[in-house]
Copies of this chain bind each other. A is one copy, B any other.
């Protein structure tokens, strides 16, 4: 299975409509993966995710390794069984978490020594140990261990990140293949990650290096870390030309609806981001008319749904007034309602993107979506 997991269905310009096959099922692309950091998409249960149309969810290796620990997940039958999702899953490699938590991590060529954010205990991640952890967690798609550098990064640091990412990628491939042989399966699909900060020459170098290792899928990492949006697009456009079209292309940690549309237009197939779920917990939902800060006093007496154009079960039943009240009272029910809506909104967006590519009208769809999406901003 490992050598051909992507089936191309059709294209509209550079936008691609495809299908990725994993041991737990197929994923229609372009796809957006809700983030289930500790094994659950916060405030949702599996049936909510199914209702919303999600086909794959992401788990964070760093978090799952610390709690509940791989022994638990392994004994419970792997991530998809442990969290009763039973559909495709993907784990990141912990590289991005270490980037986020770099104050409590020490990175060397060998690997990363870091302290648990739970109890301060010390741990050591190497490319080899991360492969072992990801195999134990048992996601369908696993990511190579990379070094993501902060933005802005000087040339020296950016080059270091590229070199180390390549070195670690090779070590990941080696251990991954040993593990596959030992397990006697080809269950885990390993994706490589391209780094290079915001330097085109480093992006080229990293892409060529990563592609040379013949991963079953390739990801663009190190973006959406604080750089301006036009720089993100420039780097994406530059990098993606080096990534083989017969394999899935995954833009990590992106993003806002407008970012997804932009990236799809350049041929990206997969996305993940905490925005829809995290923002829902802070009083902010995504709607067809743009972001809605539903916690605002403006909505005290507003009996409209969060999104008047949405057919999700929350918008069919609940008012802004009620959800705002629950948010202000710190009621979990309010967080559930907001999270459900935004998750549904993202999945519906991806569904509409896929349909528009199939109908050769992606550009029109994008324009119309963005026109409506600017409504709230115009007020």
Contact = CB atoms under 8 A, between A and B. Distances in A.
A346 to B, nearest CB: 18
A40 interface: yes
Contacts of A325: 38-39, 67-68, 72
Given A72-B301, A76-B301, A313-B47, A82 B41 contact: no
A45 B328 contact: no
A42 B64 CA distance: 27
Contacts of A40: 326, 331, 333-334
A365 to B, nearest CB: 31
A300 B74 CA distance: 12
A220 interface: no
Given A68-B300, A301-B76, A313-B47, A42 B332 contact: yes
Interface stretch (A176-184, A187-195, A283-291, A314-322): A314-322
A121 to B, nearest CB: 16
Contacts of A116: none
Nearest to A314: B45
Nearest to A77: B303
Given A67-B329, A325-B68, A336-B332, A319 B76 contact: yes
A72 B337 CA distance: 19
A348 to B, nearest CB: 19
A375 interface: no
Contacts of A38: 325-326, 329, 331
Contact of A84 (B68, B75, B318): B318
This protein's copies in its complex: 2
A76 B332 contact: no
A76 B207 CA distance: 56
Interface string A55-82: 0000000000001100010011100001
- Residue of A318, A326, A335, A336 with most chain B CB atoms under a 10 A cut-off: A336
A332 B300 contact: no
B331 A42 contact: yes
Given A75-B301, A300-B72, A301-B75, A322 B67 contact: no
Contacts of A42: 331-333
A303 B75 CA distance: 9
A346 B72 CA distance: 31
Nearest to A332: B43
Contact of A317 (B46, B300, B301): B46
A225 interface: no
A44 interface: yes
Contacts of A351: none
A83 interface: yes
A246 B313 CA distance: 40
Contacts of A319: 76, 82, 84
Given A303-B76, A317-B84, A318-B84, A326 B45 contact: no
24 contacts: A38-B325, A38-B329, A39-B322, A39-B326, A40-B326, A40-B331, A40-B334, A41-B333, A42-B333, A44-B333, A45-B314, A46-B317, A68-B321, A68-B328, A72-B301, A72-B321, A76-B303, A76-B322, A82-B321, A82-B322, A84-B317, A84-B322, A332-B335, A336-B336
Given A72-B300, A84-B317, 5 more contacts: A39-B322, A40-B326, A42-B332, A75-B301, A82-B321
